[in-house]
């Protein structure tokens, strides 16, 4: 099954948020194209980046490397990276590997949005 990377941008309380929705499988076959597709996200000024994994059915070590590479690149620029809508099988991989320090994992987009709103409120209120 191929992988689609669907990128959208929005403003959350005046701050940019980029959402990269991954649909399909992120594995050895699809990871090179995923890296190219994500270059669009990494090249601009994405603000916080959310990887929406609600439609990601499988991830391999090659897929983990894609996410780690994105986090490293974005983290060096001060951007935060979040995972949302993580499917149980993907969450199990993350639990087993414990290789993604620096990611926040949320059970759904609502929980993520509440977190982002709270973080931005802290910034705007000078906390």
Query: pLDDT digit string (tens) for 39-67?
Result: 877 777 668 899 999 999 998 888 888 99
Give CA separation, 105 vs 14, 22, 82, 95, in Å.
Answer: 23, 15, 6, 11
pTM of the model as a whole: 0.76
What is the number of structural domains in the chain? 1
The CATH number of the domain holding residue 63 is: 3.30.750.24
Distance of CA 47 to the CA centre of its chain: 12
Q: Please report which confidence band the pLDDT of residue 123 belongs to, taking 50, 70 and 90 as the band edges.
A: low
Confidence of residue 125 (pLDDT cuts 50, 70, 90): confident
> Where in the sequence is the domain holding 64, given as residue range(s)?
3-124
DSSP line for 99-116: --TT-EEESSHHHHHHHH
Confidence at residue 102, expressed as pLDDT on a 0 to 100 scale: 63
The residues facing 51 across adjacent strands are 20, 83
Q: Which comes out higher in pLDDT, residue 50 or 91?
A: 50
Kindly report the CA angle at 85 between 68 and 99, in degrees rounded to 5? 25
Is the C-alpha dihedral spanning 9, 12, 13, 15 positive or negative? negative
């Amino acid at each position: 099954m191929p992988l689609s990377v669907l990128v959208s941008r929005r403003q959350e309380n005046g701050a940019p948020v980029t959402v990269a929705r991954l649909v399909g499988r992120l594995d050895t076959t699809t990871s090179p194209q995923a890296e190219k597709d994500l270059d669009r996200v990494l090249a601009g000024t994405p603000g916080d980046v959310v990887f929406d994994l609600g439609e990601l059915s499988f991830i391999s070590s090659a897929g983990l490397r894609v996410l780690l590479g994105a986090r490293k690149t974005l983290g060096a620029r001060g951007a935060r990276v979040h995972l949302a809508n993580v499917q149980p099988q993907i969450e199990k991989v993350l639990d087993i590997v414990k290789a993604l320090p620096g990611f926040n994992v949320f059970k759904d987009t609502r929980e993520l949005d509440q977190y982002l709103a709270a973080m931005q409120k802290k910034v705007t209120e000078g906390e």
